Each structure stands twice: as structure tokens, then as C-alpha cells.
């Protein structure tokens, strides 16, 4: 509905000459929109801003944040289940990025904690968090991923692993290079016989990145598949005296 109205508006504006168009924009910004701003869905503001070139002076980032919260969590005319409110908030907050509305750190922290505690499949929680973090600062994104990495190291919940990998792929947040999730992902990739496990050992050793635990697991997998020489070579590149003993044993 909103998109149809914006398309209709765009068509009308394209028919106006420059002077009339500028007059219309100023009248909309100064007079019309302030009268109805409270009843406008937050999802409409990015499109309106695109057509008008700016937001009305009365529409601030803080007001949009409050309206976003109100329309996502308080106004629930369809009595939808609670998890849908978080999904709706994620979609709306992601749209706010286009007009420079970023979520506050304390709200990001609260929402992330609540989403993680939802009794929903990890894919749904990943998508909700991705939308929320899209509207968060870079610092807050990194903080969330780092906290999830520590949580995974403590509890080894596979959902946390999948959620972080999904967030990293979707919005480009770097997984902590020395964290538990990266080590787990690297081990999974290196042990996959169709991925890392199919590489020549010279390249595979670069991906193992001198991690002894991963290297020994991968070497064992190589040996089981008959690549005994490759397994010994991989072990010889690991920074551990124990690895040298394993090479002799193999």
C-alpha cells in the first residue's frame, strides 16, 4: 500500500515543472507533513525523504526511533505472536538506515538479548538480529558478535555458531580472528572433503593457519582417506614439538 502511494506520488512529481515542484516540496515539508506525521508509518519515511530531498524539520531521528518502537511493539492490532514483533522491528529498523537513523547502543543490547531468548529456530533469530544490527553502529555490531563468540566458547551451542556465521555473511561483521567460532568454522571447512579437504596440502596448511588442534584433526582426516604423506607434511608445519613426534610415528 505504502509503496503504491509512493509510486503514485513519484509519477505526479515528475509532471511538475521545477518551480512548482520546489514550491510543492516546501509546502509538504513545512505544512502538510507536520500535521500528519504521527499517523505515518515509519516505513514510509525513507521513500518520502527520497522524493522530498530531506525530512521535515519536525521529524527527528529520536522521534523516528520512538515511533519505530511504538509501531513495532506497542501497536499490535492483529494480535500477532510476540516473535513477529521482533521480526517487524528488524525490517523497519533496517529501512531507517537510508535516512540516517541508527539504533542506540542500549536498545541494541536489549533487543539482542530478547531475540536470543526467543523460542524460535536459529534461522529466524539470525534474520531478526541481522535486521537489527543493520541499523546499529559498527561498534555495537562488533560487540554483539564478540559476546556471542564468548558465549559459544562457554556453552558450545550450535545455534550461536550458525547465528554468528549468518550475521557475518549478511552484514559483513568480522568474526573475531582468535575466537572459538572462527576456529570451529575453520575446522568444519578444512575437514569437509569437498572443500578444504580437497585442496593440496600446501594450500590447506595455509588455511589451517598453524592451529595445532585443527591441524591434527585435519591430518587425521587426510590419513583416513589415504593421504598419509600429506598428513605428515601438514603436521610438520605445526608449531608444536608434539607434531614432530606424530610425523615420525606416521
Question: Is the pLDDT at 244 greater than 50, yes or no?
Answer: no
pLDDT at site 143: 93
Q: What is the pLDDT of residues 83-125, one digit of tens each?
A: 888 888 888 888 888 788 888 898 899 999 999 999 999 999 9
pLDDT band at 249 (very low <50, low <70, confident <90, very high): very low
Question: Is the pLDDT at 50 greater than 80, yes or no?
Answer: no
pLDDT at site 148: 93
pLDDT at site 245: 47
Nearest to 29 by CA among 37, 17, 40, 38: 37
pLDDT at site 163: 92
CA torsion through residues 92, 93, 96, 98, sign: negative
Residue 87: exposed, middle, or buried by beta-carbon count in 10 A (0-12, 13-18, 19+)? buried
Q: Kindly give the interhelix angle for 201-208 and 212-224, rounded to the nearest 10 degrees.
A: 150
pLDDT band at 250 (very low <50, low <70, confident <90, very high): very low
Q: What is the pLDDT of residues 51-81, one digit of tens each?
A: 677 777 777 888 888 888 877 777 665 566 7
pLDDT band at 205 (very low <50, low <70, confident <90, very high): confident
Q: What is the pLDDT of residues 151-180, one digit of tens each?
A: 998 888 889 999 999 998 888 888 888 888
| pTM recorded for the entire structure | 0.67
pLDDT band at 133 (very low <50, low <70, confident <90, very high): very high
- Find out whether 27 and 5 touch, Cβ atoms under 8 Å: no
Give CA torsion, residues 158, 164, 165, 166, to 10 deg. 110
pLDDT at site 159: 92
Residues in CB range of 33: below 8 A, 6 or more apart: 40, 48, 56, 58, 59
Radius of gyration of the chain (CA): 26
Provide the grid cell at 113: 538479548
Amino acid at each position: 500500500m505504502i509503496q503504491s502511494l509512493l509510486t503514485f506520488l513519484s509519477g505526479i512529481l515528475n509532471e511538475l515543472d521545477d518551480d512548482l515542484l520546489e514550491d510543492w516540496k516546501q509546502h509538504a515539508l513545512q505544512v502538510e507533513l507536520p500535521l500528519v506525521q504521527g499517523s505515518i508509518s515509519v516505513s514510509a519515511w525513507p521513500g518520502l525523504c527520497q522524493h522530498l530531498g530531506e525530512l521535515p524539520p519536525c521529524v527527528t531521528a529520536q522521534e523516528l526511533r520512538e515511533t519505530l518502537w511504538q509501531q513495532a511493539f506497542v501497536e499490535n492490532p492483529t494480535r500477532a505472536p510476540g516473535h513477529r514483533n521482533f521480526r517487524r522491528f528488524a525490517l523497519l529498523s533496517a529501512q531507517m538506515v537510508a535516512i540516517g537513523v541508527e539504533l542506540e547502543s542500549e536498545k541494541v543490547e536489549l533487543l539482542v538479548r530478547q531475540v536470543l531468548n526467543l523460542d524460535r529456530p536459529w534461522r529466524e533469530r539470525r534474520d531478526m538480529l541481522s535486521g537489527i544490527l543493520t541499523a546499529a553502529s559498527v561498534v555495537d555490531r562488533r560487540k554483539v558478535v564478540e559476546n556471542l563468540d564468548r558465549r559459544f566458547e562457554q556453552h558450545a551451542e550450535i545455534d550461536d555458531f550458525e547465528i554468528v556465521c549468518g550475521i557475518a555473511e549478511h552484514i559483513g561483521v568480522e568474526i573475531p580472528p582468535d575466537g572459538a567460532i572462527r576456529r570451529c568454522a575453520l575446522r568444519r571447512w578444512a575437514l569437509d572433503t569437498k572443500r578444504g579437504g580437497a585442496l593440496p596440502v600446501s594450500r590447506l596448511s595455509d588455511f589451517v593457519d598453524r592451529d595445532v588442534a585443527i591441524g591434527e584433526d585435519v591430518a587425521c582426516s587426510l590419513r583416513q582417506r589415504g593421504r598419509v604423506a600429506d598428513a605428515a607434511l601438514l603436521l610438520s608445519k605445526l608449531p608444536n614439538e608434539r607434531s614432530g613426534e606424530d610425523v615420525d610415528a606416521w
